[in-house]
Amino acid sequence: MDDFSMLPMAADDDRLHEECGVFGVFGHDDAAALTALGLHALQHRGQEAAGIAAHDGRRFSIERHAGLVGDTFTRKAVIDRLPGRRAIGHNRYSTTGGAGMRNVQPMFAEFAGGGFAVAHNGNLTNAMILKRELQRRGSLFQSTSDTETIIHLIATSNHGQLLDRFVDAIRRIEGAYSLVALSEKKMLGCRDPLGVRPLVLGKLDEAWVLASETCALDIIGANYVRDIKPGEVVIITDEGIESLFPFEKSRSRFCIFEYVYFARPDSSVDGRGVYAVRKQIGAELARESGIPADVIVPVPDSGVPAAIGYAEASGIPFDLGIIRNHYVGRTFIEPTDAIRHMGVKLKHNANMGVLKGKRVVLVDDSIVRGTTSMKIVQMVREAGAAEVHMRIASPPTTDSCFYGVDTPEKSKLIASHMTIPEMASYIKADSLAFISIDGLYRAVGEAKRNGDAPQFCDACFTGDYPTRLADYEDRGKVQTLPRLAEAS
C-alpha cells in the first residue's frame, strides 16, 4: 500500500538485533488472540511490525500492522477479523526501504491447491540466486523478502501434494530459517538442517503451539514439549502431529548469541535456562578477568544477569549505577540536532550516589561499534567514578551475521579492526575484557569449543560460517557486503 510510510524506529543502532519471532497455534478457539499474546512475549525479537494469519476451516484471514503487537492486535475488532482455531504470527524487526508493508509477514499465497501462509525467522544465503532463476521463468515478485522466494519455489515445484512441494522448496534453500506455516489443513513447523534459529513445540490443552522461545509458551500457560530438531519438519493436523527429516543428518549449530543477548532471560533452549547461562557468563568473566573494585554495575537491561553473576562470583556488591528510561520505545524518531548531541542520555542516566568515588566494573553483553560503550564510560566517569572497568559477556564481535541478525558490515565492527587494548583506549575504560570463546562455551555447559566441529554457530566471533554464502560469494568478498536490509 502506497499510503503507508514506515517510520524508522528508535532502535539502538549500536546493538545487534534479532530480526524476527514466529508463533503458531493449531486447534484452539482463541487461536488469534493466543497468537497475539505469543507475539507480545516475543516482542524483543522484532518491534517494527507484526502480522497474524488465521484459518477458520474455510478461508484465511490476515492482518498485518506496523508497530508493536499491543498497539493493534489486542483490539477486539482486529482479533474478530481473524476467526478460526488455527493461526500463525510473526514479529518483524525491520521493514526497511520502500517495500513497506509488503515485506511484513506472514506472507500469503493462493496456490492452485489452496491458500498458504508462512512466517519466517532467519535469513537465506541463496535467495537472490533463486529469485533471479524464478523470475526468468515468469514468477512475479511482490516483495524483497526471502519468504516470497520460498513461496514461489513451492508454487513452481513439480510435485503434486503441498507437503512434497514444501519439502522440495526447503531442499533448495540455504541459510538459517525457522518457519511456521499454515495451509488449508495443516500447520507446519520447520528448522534448517543446522538449527541456527530456535523453534519450540508446546501444548495448551488439546492445541499444539509453535514458538521461537519458551517465554511465548509461558504467557499463554502452554506446556513446553520439546525443541523442534535441526532439519525437522513437524506436520500438525486435526489427526495429530508427525515429523519428517528431509535432510541428511548434520550436527546442530544453534546460534550462541541467542544465549548471550537475543533470547529473553526467562526462556530456555534445549533445556538450558538463558538467565542461568548469562549469570554463568558473568561468573566466568569474574574468574577470567576479575579486578579489584567497589561495585559491579550492569549496563541495563541486557547486562543485568551477567553482572549479578559477576558480583556473586567476585563477592563485590551489585548496584544499579545506571538507570534506564524505558519510555524510549518508539521515541525520538526525528531528533533535532540538539537532541542528537545529548546522545545516550536519552536512554541511560548515571546514578551518582552509587558511582561517586567508586572503582566501578561495568558489565555489558557485547560491543558492536563501540560508540555506546564510549558514552557510557564517559557518563560513569563524569558521575565521579574513580575507575571504570568494562567487562563484556561475549567474545569480540568481529564478523557479520548472515543468518537473520541485523549486524553492521564487518568494517563497522570495532573488533574487526582494533585489538582489545585499542578498544579499551577508544572507549576510554581503565580496563576492558571480553569473555573468551571457551569461557562462553563453558557457560553454556560445554567443556570447550570443538574446533573441528563447533557445537554452535559462533561466526560473529570466529568468522567460521556453517553454510555456503552463495548470494554473497558471487559479489566478491563477504566482508565488504552491505548490511542485509531484507533479512527476516
Give catalytic status of residue 190 as yes or no. no
Q: Is residue 457 part of an annotated ligand binding site?
A: yes
151 counts as binding a second copy under rule CB under 8 A: yes
**Minimal distance, residue 335 CB to a second copy, in Å:** 5
Q: What is the dihedral of CA 15, 19, 25, 26, to 10 degrees?
A: -150
The answer to whether 101 contacts a second copy (rule: CB under 8 A) is: yes
Sole window of 266-274, 369-377, 404-412, 476-484 interacting with a second copy (rule: CB under 8 A): 266-274
Candidate list 6, 9, 16, 20, residue with the active-site label: 20
Q: Quick check: 153 and 131 in contact, CB under 8 A?
A: no
The C-alpha atoms of residue 328 and residue 340 are separated, in whole angstroms, by 14
Q: Is 163 in the site for a second copy (CB under 8 A)?
A: no
CA 74/CA 10 separation, integer angstroms: 23
Give the x-and-dash track for 176-195 against a second copy (CB under 8 A): --------------------
Residue 262 or 403: the one with the smaller Cβ distance to a second copy is 262
Please list, residue by residue across 160-185, b when 16 or more beta carbons sit within 10 angstroms of its beta carbon and e when fewer do: eebbebbbbbbeebbbbbbbbbbbbb
Which of 8, 57, 142, 171 touches a second copy (CB under 8 A)? 142
Q: State the Cα torsion 202-203-204-207 to the nearest 10°.
A: 120
Nearer to a second copy, 8 or 421 (CB): 8
Q: What is the DSSP string of 53-73?
A: EEE-SS-EEEEEEES-HHHHT
Q: What residues between 440 and 479 interact with a second copy by CB under 8 A?
A: none
> Between residue 392 and residue 421, which ones bind a second copy under the rule CB under 8 A?
none
For residue 295, the cross-strand partners are 360
Closest CB to a second copy among residues 54, 437? 54
Query: Of 110, 238, 242, 473, which one interacts with a second copy (CB under 8 A)?
Result: 110
By CB under 8 A, tell whether 271 contacts a second copy.
no
Q: Which is nearer to a second copy, 130 or 151 (CB)?
A: 151
**CA-closest candidate to residue 163, choices 88, 232, 60, 233:** 233
Tell me whether residue 296 or residue 424 sits nearer to a second copy (CB atom). Answer: 296
Round to whole Å and give the CA distance between 445 and 449: 11
Distance, in Å, from the CA atom of 151 to the CA atom of 118, rounded to the nearest integer, reads 8
Binding mask 195-234 for a second copy (x = CB under 8 A): --------------------x--xxxx-------------
Burial of 301 (0-12, 13-18, 19+ CB in 10 A): exposed
Radius of gyration (C-alpha) of the chain in whole angstroms: 23
Least separation, in Å, of the C-beta of 308 and a second copy?
A: 7
Residue 190 assigned as binding residue: no
Nearer to a second copy, 349 or 371 (CB): 349
Query: Which residues, numbered 15-74, are part of the site for a second copy (CB under 8 A)?
Result: 30, 33-34, 36-37, 40-41, 43-44, 47, 51, 62-66, 68-71, 74
Q: Is 276 in the site for a second copy (CB under 8 A)?
A: yes
Where on the phi/psi map is residue 44: left (φ > 0), alpha (ψ -120 to 50), or beta? alpha
Q: Is 255 annotated as a binding residue?
A: yes
- Cell triple for residue 358? 567508586
Nearer of residues 220 and 385 to a second copy, judged by Cβ: 220
**Rounded Cα–Cα distance for residues 377 and 381 (Å):** 6
Residue range at the interface with a second copy (CB under 8 A); choices 104-112, 203-211, 452-460, 474-482: 104-112
Residue 54: CA count within 13 A, CB half-sphere: 24
**Other CB atoms within 10 A of residue 266 CB:** 13
Cβ neighbours for 276, distance < 8 A, ≥ 6 positions apart: none
Residue numbers 311-370 binding a second copy by CB under 8 A? 312, 317-320, 323, 325-336, 338-339, 342, 345-346, 349-354
Pick the piece of the chain touching a second copy (CB under 8 A) from 185-193, 246-254, 300-308, 368-376.
Answer: 300-308
Q: Is 215 annotated as a binding residue?
A: no
Binding flag, residue 136, a second copy (CB under 8 A)? yes
What is the C-alpha separation between 444 and 114, in angstroms, rounded? Answer: 44
Q: Does 268 bind a second copy (CB under 8 A)?
A: yes
In the complex, what is the shortest distance from the CB of residue 320 to a second copy, in angstroms, rounded to a whole number? Answer: 7
Catalytic residue IDs: 20
Numbered residues of the known binding site: 255, 302, 364-365, 401, 457, 460
- Annotated binding residues for [4Fe-4S] cluster: 255, 401, 457, 460
- State the binding site for Mg(2+): 302, 364-365
